[in-house]
Chain A
């Protein structure tokens, strides 16, 4: 298998060539083009009923497509929905937490699970579930804008929820409001994540919530 990131930093996407027997997991709807000898199976993250519930209640899918090649040298292109950077991480038994929208693709040896973000996550505008990515292999993730890595060594960091891409679970994390709970919930703004301990946090330089709030002024 060969995988190249193209189009960075503005229009990052993934161009892969799969050999017979190769398979990759891809965020649902992110396949843009492929050769004919690739088969697709839809996989629900977290089981069937929770997946249907999330779709009905929250319109969140958390589905991935499993793309498997039945022939050598099959093209597969994968693109995120939002313009920005695509990055690769080589996973060697480590675990990362991700905003669901930041996951783009991974190889077969990586497991994807869902973690409930708590009731406050519902109001963050970024979705109620986080992805827990663990295992061995290649992980590709994307951001709105470019990606900035911050490393904490016992220090603390406060990040707007809309700018979170992912973090290492060695860190403590909680979602909290900038003001009191009621004003946070009713304004839909000012939710932050507070990290402490040791580990890395990945941030994106733009937020979808920011774009949406700007557009609201013109609706």
Chain B
């Protein structure tokens, strides 16, 4: 299996080349093109965590289904995110997993287990990261971002706006809380929620925030 990021910064995609018999999994609906030598099977809701599992993925901003690509003979599949921005991957070696937030999960190798983690009521209010996808195992994990991505080292504690979190290592502790100040200030300022990380590990931060971009455009549109 070979993974390659293609396209320039604002419009990146990922090309996965598979040898005969190899598989790759993606968020459903993200496929741009694939070789005819690949078969594409949509994972039934049951196989990937039952109805509730699928519902949780939907609430988490993820598609309801996963697509599994299998190579009959050598071929490739290209996956792309919805919004402009970076695509990147991490090779998981089985020691540390990652939590993908806010719909950043794009795809993964067949040996990676993806499990939605409900973030409770606070997650609900934050509006974008109600469910994190916990990815563990061995192989490539592909994520997308709105804008460019910076890897920040946490050593102690570090605060990130929920809308800017792409993913973080599962060795980090985290709490979701309101951005500083009182509720009144928060309302005035239109501030959302932040994730406070503690411990030692890596956080991937995206330069732009889908929720903020939507909040600029949405109120100017006529109601549906």
Partner of B191, one of A13, A28, A55: A28
Chain A residues touching B, majority SS: mixed
Which residues of B168-224 are within 8 A (CB) of A? 179-181, 185, 187-192, 196, 203, 205-209, 212-213, 215-217, 219-222, 224
A13 and B86 CA atoms in complex are apart in Å by 15
Partner of A36, one of B147, B152, B156, B220: B156
Q: Which residues does chain A contribute within 8 Å of B161, judged by CB atoms?
A: 31-33
A176 nearest CB across to chain B (Å) = 22
Does A136 touch B at the CB level, under 8 Å?
no
Q: What number of B residues sit within 8 Å (CB to CB) of A?
A: 42
Does B91 touch A at the CB level, under 8 Å?
no
Partner of A212, one of B152, B181, B221: B221
Instruction: State which of A57-65, A91-99, A150-158, A190-198 sits at the interface with chain B.
Output: A57-65
Does B159 touch A at the CB level, under 8 Å?
yes
Q: Which residue on A lies nearest to B181, using beta carbons?
A: A42
Chain B residues touching A, majority SS: mixed
A129 and B213 CA atoms in complex are apart in Å by 21
A41 and B152 CA atoms in complex are apart in Å by 24
Instruction: State which of A76-84, A111-119, A163-171, A177-185 sits at the interface with chain B.
Output: A76-84
Which residues of B1-47 are within 8 A (CB) of A? 9-10
Assess the A75–B188 pair: CB atoms within 8 A: no
Assess the A52–B213 pair: CB atoms within 8 A: no
A42 and B187 CA atoms in complex are apart in Å by 11
A59 and B156 CA atoms in complex are apart in Å by 37
A179 and B20 CA atoms in complex are apart in Å by 66
Q: Which residues does chain A contribute within 8 Å of B208, judged by CB atoms?
A: 11, 13, 79-81, 83
A130 nearest CB across to chain B (Å) = 18
Does A89 touch B at the CB level, under 8 Å?
no
Assess the A215–B221 pair: CB atoms within 8 A: yes
Residue-wise, chain B 101-136 has the 8 Å CB interface mask toward A (1 for contact) of 000000000000000000000000000000000000
A107 nearest CB across to chain B (Å) = 20
Does A16 touch B at the CB level, under 8 Å?
no
Q: Which residues does chain A contribute within 8 Å of B180, judged by CB atoms?
A: 39-40, 42, 65
Assess the A33–B181 pair: CB atoms within 8 A: no
Assess the A208–B10 pair: CB atoms within 8 A: no
Q: Which residues does chain B contribute within 8 Å of A28, judged by CB atoms?
A: 189-191
Partner of B189, one of A6, A32, A42, A75: A42
Assess the B160–A13 pair: CB atoms within 8 A: no
Most buried by B among A32, A41, A52, A208: A32
Partner of A79, one of B190, B207, B222: B207
Q: Which residues does chain B contribute within 8 Å of A40, judged by CB atoms?
A: 179-181
A193 and B221 CA atoms in complex are apart in Å by 24
Can you show 28 pairs from A to B with CB atoms below 8 A apart? A6-B148, A6-B207, A11-B207, A13-B207, A15-B150, A29-B192, A29-B212, A32-B161, A32-B205, A32-B209, A33-B152, A33-B203, A34-B159, A35-B159, A40-B180, A41-B181, A42-B188, A42-B189, A63-B190, A77-B207, A79-B209, A81-B213, A82-B216, A83-B10, A208-B216, A212-B217, A216-B222, A219-B221
Seed contacts A63-B190, A216-B222; 7 additional CB < 8 Å A-B pairs: A7-B147, A29-B212, A63-B189, A81-B215, A101-B216, A212-B221, A219-B222
Q: Which residues of B contact A (CB under 8 A)?
A: 9-10, 84-85, 147-148, 150, 152, 156-161, 164, 179-181, 185, 187-192, 196, 203, 205-209, 212-213, 215-217, 219-222, 224
